[in-house]
Amino acid sequence: MSTVASSSPPATPSPAPSGIPTESPASTSPETSAQSPAATSPETSAEARAAARPRRALDWRVRFGVLSLIWGFSFLLIKVGTEGYAPFQVTLGRLAFGTAVLAVAMAVKRQRLPRGIRTWGHIAVAALLLNSLPFSLFAFSEQTIPSTLAGICNATSPLWGMALSLVALSEDRPTRRRVAGLGIGFLGVLTVLGVWQGFHGLDLAGTAMALLASLSYPVGWIYLRRTLAGTGHSNLSLSGAQLLMATLQLAVVTPVFTTLPAHFPVVPLLAIVALGALGTGLAFLIQYGLVAEVGPTTAQMVTYFIPVIATAAGVALLGESLTWSTPIGAVIVLAGAALTQSRARAPRP
């Protein structure tokens, strides 16, 4: 979601497939920061706070469901795109169309790109870790593994984030519950991979690339927390700059490692357009609104629906095979991920 995080946010949440991680509860968006003091004071009633929120044409639950479908189908779209184009070309198209959507949104809201060489240097690193690298790795991985497996690998991001936070974020102290969630989650990964069968029938290189892509998200999110938190730029402005930088990165890399296609297959091309415009651009705007309306904790719950939808789409529309260990392992992964994001209830006074 947002590229902005506070200086001391809670546990690392799971980044979405857009490559823009979910905003921390302490972060502020233009909608929340524009509220009057009365709207945020302890004495304000729940009804008053609800009335202060901007009214939306669609209920947040509808938009939550739409976001789940968009990101769940992203892995199917990647698979279809790579059937006609090279992985780097799929990623470049995805980033270009996603950037175009955010550019329109920024123009409508009259927001400008950030300024300053140092800021753009941090944005370049963030773009690599949160967009260029993971998007490309997923595209390469789906040349040899099913889209269902790629979607499940994406769900391991909260587990990687939890493991990294124990080392990189000293203020994020582990609890028994979250450490248990980490162990359960990786047990689920081993179940998905069928470790007792010696990884028989599994493409290790493709699976490793998908897991590395999932690891790249929390690494990038931690980097953002340390470098771009509290810079004063809006979430939309930083995210638009991030996607623009990622597009430029792929525009340099793609011609070096690929050649211009002799022909342009229509269906894969449409998949790339949908992946960028919907799965990257529009999806960000939807979640941006969800975070502002219902908070980041509720908004990030979309992460747990993505592998379910990705699996259903891959099996139903692409005819991908599914063994018993895949859905069982996915459930274990999601249970572990949920525990790593949970917090113990404060004792009542």
Structure confidence at residue 141 (pLDDT): 97
Q: Flag whether pLDDT at 17 surpasses 60.
A: no
Structure confidence at residue 96 (pLDDT): 98
User: Higher pLDDT residue, 139 or 222?
Assistant: 139
DSSP string for 212-268: HHHHHHHHHHHHHHHHTTTSS--HHHHHHHHHHHHHHHHHHHHHHH----SS--HHH
Structure confidence at residue 280 (pLDDT): 95
Identify the burial level of 39 via C-beta atoms within 10 angstroms of its C-beta, where 0-12 means exposed, 13-18 middle and 19 or more buried: middle
Spatial CB neighbours of 12, under 8 Å, sequence gap ≥ 6: 158, 161, 162, 164, 165, 169, 172, 218, 221, 222
Structure confidence at residue 41 (pLDDT): 42
The verdict on pTM exceeding 0.85 is: no
- Closest to 268 (Cα-Cα) out of 24, 39, 37, 85: 85
Candidate from 103-107, 219-223, 247-251 with smallest mean pLDDT: 219-223
CA 109 – CA 235 distance, rounded (Å): 12
Half-sphere exposure of residue 238, counting CA atoms within 13 Å on the CB side?
Answer: 30
CA 261 – CA 258 distance, rounded (Å): 9
- In the three-class reduction of DSSP (H, G, I as helix; E, B as strand; rest coil), residue 26 is classed as coil
Find tokens 């921390």 and name the residue.
24
Structure confidence at residue 344 (pLDDT): 55
CA 132 – CA 333 distance, rounded (Å): 25
Structure confidence at residue 39 (pLDDT): 36
- Closest to 276 (Cα-Cα) out of 95, 52, 86: 95
Find tokens 């011609």 and name the residue.
255
Candidate from 9-13, 97-101, 106-110, 131-135 with smallest mean pLDDT: 9-13
Q: Flag whether pLDDT at 57 surpasses 90.
A: no
Q: What tens digit of pLDDT does each residue of 160-190 get?
A: 888 887 776 555 566 788 788 888 888 888 8
Q: pLDDT averaged over the chain? A: 81
Q: Do 102 and 243 meet the contact criterion of CB atoms below 8 Å apart?
A: yes
Q: Do 343 and 162 meet the contact criterion of CB atoms below 8 Å apart?
A: no
Q: What tens digit of pLDDT does each residue of 311-348 get?
A: 889 999 999 988 888 889 889 888 888 887 766 555 55
Spatial CB neighbours of 160, under 8 Å, sequence gap ≥ 6: 214, 215, 217, 218, 219
Q: Do 21 and 217 meet the contact criterion of CB atoms below 8 Å apart?
A: yes
Return the sign of the alpha-carbon dihedral for residues 96, 160, 257, 139.
negative
